Structure 1
Amino acid sequence: MPRQSIFRSLFAASSSSRAALASKPRITPPSGQVAAGPSSTPSSSHTPRASPAFRSTPASRPLYGPVTSLLFSSRIKTSASRSVSSPLASLIAAPSQPHALGAIRWTTYGSEYQPSQRKRKRKHGFLARLRCRNGRKTLLRRKKQGRRFLSH
């Protein structure tokens, strides 16, 4: 007799509950209201998933169907040419980027420039200007302007 997996009974139970949920029609409440049903009581052992329309964070994929129709139908042009939108539209349209805030939080600035007089004089000093043709042009231009310091 072949051995059966202990997960087979769990899989059968979860697939039957999924089939039961799929056969029920989903009714979404009007915008701004959350339906109170038997699954909202804390004594139930099964925690319901939040529907895509009522998530606290915006979905990463584009929204289609009744949610977008709510968004577009909820915008009303007033006489002051301002748009008034529903709370649902403001929740979905609000940009949320927690990863970007974390990256900015720990970034340090100002640590790139570590001065060294030797390198500064080697690049921009008087002798470096004399060595190349463009450097000599720079010295002549600064001398003609009447600069007190021609270079570093």
Structure 2
Amino acid sequence: MPRNRPAALRGALRTPGPRFWEEPPPVRLRGLSARTSLAVHRAERLSPGFWYQRGATDSALRRYRAFLHPPGRRPRYPRESYCAACPGCALDDVRQARDVLADILPLLPPRARAELRRAVTPLDRRYLRLTLPDPLAARTAPSWHRRLAKGVEGW
């Protein structure tokens, strides 16, 4: 008895017509591999948290890098955002941007988590080097919140 060719079997499984995505493909995060960018995108889509909108991790990573980017060794002071309640404005505060990065890390698979952590660790070192410690900050707060800050950024 003759058997069907594998291509004929695969053809029967295909749906007719082109495939359309309901949303555009995820943007690749600068400095990270495509695999990690896809894992971050999936974690943002599947997690029910307040911060996890599409591209929140990319925005947070860009904001964190932009805060540390200007050359020089002068101390930098994080500023609170004017409207900390909405996800878009809250990233004006670099500490909130770092919180977003810290919150997404446990949701990633091990390889993607390690790669994102490798990208964030040098930024953390630079942040601690360029900001001044706050002696009145709570010891239970993360290290990026125990730094001196001034004023309000935004409006």
In the superposition, the TM-score normalised over structure 1's length comes to 0.21
In the superposition, the TM-score normalised over structure 2's length comes to 0.21
Q: Which structure has more RCO (C-alpha within 8 Å, separation ≥ 6)?
A: 2
**Larger Cα Rg: Structure 1 or Structure 2?**
1
